[in-house]
Amino acid sequence: MDAPSTIRVFPAPPIERWIEEFRGSYLASKDKATVEAYTRVLKQFAIWLAGQPGSQGQFHPRTITRTAVEIFLGTLNSSSHKNQARSAISSFCQWLIDEKQILERNPARGINVPPQALLAPRILNEKERFAVRQVVERANDIRGEAIFALGYWAGCRVSDVSHLMMEHTHVTSKAGWIHVGHKGDKWRDIDLVNEARRPLYVYLTAIAREQGDGKKKQKLREPSSAYVFTSQREKIPVPEGECDGWRLMEDGVHLWFQRLKKKATKEEWDLIHDITFHDLRHDFAHRAREAGWSIEEVAYYLGHITNKGTPAIQTTARYTQVSREQVKEKLKQIKG
């Protein structure tokens, strides 16, 4: 019987050295945003791959197969994130072929990411709203309550939550506002209603107490990070001057929400199992319209702004489109 084939292991440190060399050569001509995005994706992919069967907790270049890439892309939530990850992995694999002669072919080449279907905006009914809020409160998770509140009571995107920085967060016991808009670089200042401000204030003041006495076993956030919400999983150091290594990624927000819903009772689960974090944003838009906001006001608050700075009404209209049930109720108000 032939001896099992050996896999060449990356020298220690397993991934940092290779990514830094990749950055210095292949990515040298790329803009800063692309370099940071590719680096972030490759670190995420390397950790994931190292945890798969047969990897023995280490990152091996020869285990980068088409199957591995396809399954990893399937763990990501949005089509845009999948496309970015595919490009980053493909570039890295091509570098391994051209300059390192480690791979013989590019396993990421030819993988298609289907476009994300435009789903009808979700309007939660009263029972769904009650159930999801009950599950959040019952979880007794200060950090989670703050994240949920930004989606449900402020209509924030997942990217808004993930990229929210301490210097852009201004909350006191009486008032609060935040500076958000990472997606498309469409930044805006939005005031927070008490239901959004209060959980964020409780979270931030709890952090201050935690750092003061050091008694809690698990940190609410990494104090060296510039971001409000940091990852509670294993951290990877990043080059000096960068702070993305401590940020709670968009996928981290989705994962937290999925785990939260699993704490629901059977009856609650039946109501909320298919609600996404982005659905909270859609529902906020509908509740704002019901509260009398104009469509222009909703557009500004949600960050639906054109490059010229005017409200993107068409986008907001899709978020707040009426349902058959709403029209049916209005029919009763028509007088002859």
Three-class secondary structure assignment of 161-217? HHCCEHHHEEECCCCEEEEECCHHHCCEEEECCHHHHHHHHHHHHHHHHHHHHCCCC
216-269 pLDDT tens trace: 445 677 777 889 998 866 454 444 444 455 788 888 899 999 999 999 999 999
Does residue 118 contact residue 78 with C-beta atoms inside 8 Å?
no
Write the pLDDT tens digit of every residue in 305-326: 666 666 566 666 666 655 555 5
Residue with tokens 């009404």, as numbered in its chain: 313
DSSP three-state, residue 160: helix
User: How far is it, in rounded angstroms, from Cα 188 to Cα 317?
Assistant: 20
Question: What are the pLDDT digits (tens) for 123-138?
Answer: 899 999 999 999 999 9
What are the beta bridge partners of residue 189? 179
pTM: 0.63
pLDDT per position as a tens digit, 9-61: 444 456 778 788 888 888 888 888 788 888 888 988 988 988 888 777 888 88
